[in-house]
Amino acid sequence: MAEQSKKVALALGAGAARGFAHIGVLKLLEEEGIKVDMVAGTSMGAVVGAFYCSGMSLRMMERLARFTQRNHWVDLTFPRLGLICGDKLEQFINIFIRGATFEQLKTPLAVVATDICSGNRVVFDNGPVARAVRASAAIPAIFVPVEHEGMTLVDGAVVERVPVQTAREMGAEVVIAVDVGVYVDNVKVHHVLDVILQCIDIMARDLCRIGTAQADLVILPQLNNIAPGQFHKAEEAIAAGEAAARAMLPAIFETLTGKSRSEQNA
């Protein structure tokens, strides 16, 4: 895409299995030559963001999404603070980003977590990436919280489900938010993960609406047929993300260039 001069940030939201839709959005933006200058991610958005910002190809990300099994990242523990320890998830991420720190990433990244002792939003943009992503994705009661510098950190979705504010703070001139949805009507739950995330969704629906209202553009993949715990539906989620991004292309082109897509191609 020609004439893109504004600094663009993607704000990739939480949503567990629905977050695979972020890969589809990234695919479409890459195909259209739309440059992403920085990424802010929460929970699953932080996982996808870390892989992307480390330089991993989208083809590889798709393969991981489709073929990774739960036993690759789930390490059950005695349920005092959570059912899953989280060490295995951190190691899994670390392997694929080659132990990178934020300073070593090819694209700037910020990751959002929540300190449950203070209720504060905590933004990571330096130090080890995998540890920060583990904290951002530590779904309460599912994952054991991450202890860091006197804080007890859990999923960033508790305070900033779609990290638009964080993207602004990174210096973005245009923020494209990807909201993988808060579905609270007639939802079927299949797993304890679905139960907990559905409760978080219900509590966060108004907060999410306020947050995404601050974005310049919001991409909303239709994922109501995918429960948060249905990781086997990765291909469907990726396709939904790509379709939603494609539908937003005219608005994206106009926001970034001040011209319609047809004017650009003329």
DSSP readout, 80-123? Answer: SSEEE-SHHHHHHHHHHHTT-BGGG-SS-EEEEEEETTTTEEEE
What values do phi and psi take at 18, rounded to 5?
-65, -20
Neighbours of 134 (CB within 10 A): 28
Among candidate residues 11, 39, 9, the one with its CA nearest the CA of residue 212: 11
Amino acid at 5: S
Between residues 204 and 246, the one the model is more confident about: 246
Dihedral (C-alpha) 12, 18, 22, 28: value to the nearest 10 degrees? -140
Region 152-172: what's the mean pLDDT?
95
Q: Which residue type is seen at 91?
A: Q
Closest residue by Cα to residue 48 from 255, 241, 226, 191: 241
**Least confident stretch, 10-19, 107-116, 187-196, 257-266:** 257-266
pLDDT (0 to 100) of residue 200 = 72
Give residue 236's Cα distance to chain centre. Answer: 17
Task: Provide φ and ψ at 204, rounded to 5°.
Answer: -100, 0
Lowest mean pLDDT among 29-38, 83-92, 142-151: 83-92
What digits encode the pLDDT tens for the residues 11-69? 999 988 999 999 999 999 999 999 999 999 999 999 999 999 999 999 999 998 988 76
Q: Please, which residues have CB within 8 angstroms of residue 154's CB and are 6 or more apart in sequence?
A: 113, 114, 116, 135, 138, 139, 140, 143, 145, 146
What positions carry a catalytic annotation?
43, 155
What number is the average pLDDT over the span 177-187?
76
Per-residue confidence (pLDDT) for residue 35, from 0 to 100? 93
What are residue 151's DSSP bridge partners? 148
